[in-house]
Amino acid sequence: MSRILILLIIAAVGVGGYYYLNQSEQTPAEQVQSATQEAGDAVADAASTAQEAATDALEDATEQASEAASSLTEQAQEAASSVADQASEAASSVAEQASEAAQQAGDQVASLAGQGQELLSSWIQEGKLDPTNFDYEGIMTSIQDSTLATDLKEQAIKIVNDIKESPETIALKIQELTALLTQQ
In this prediction, residue 141 carries a pLDDT of: 93
Banded model confidence at residue 13, pLDDT cuts 50, 70, 90 = very high
What are the tens digits of pLDDT across the range 18-58?
Answer: 887 776 666 777 777 877 888 788 777 877 887 887 788 77
Nearest to 143 by CA among 133, 132, 128, 130: 128
In this prediction, residue 106 carries a pLDDT of: 45
Lowest mean pLDDT among 3-7, 14-18, 109-113, 145-149: 109-113
| Cα distance between residue 114 and residue 46, in whole Å | 101
In this prediction, residue 115 carries a pLDDT of: 81
- What residues does each domain of the chain span? 2-91, 127-182
In this prediction, residue 103 carries a pLDDT of: 56
In this prediction, residue 100 carries a pLDDT of: 63
Residues 32 and 66 sit within 8 Å (Cβ to Cβ): no
Q: Give the H or E element holding residue 129.
A: strand 129-130
What are the tens digits of pLDDT across the range 138-175?
Answer: 999 989 998 888 898 999 999 999 988 988 888 898 89
Average pLDDT over residues 49-75: 81
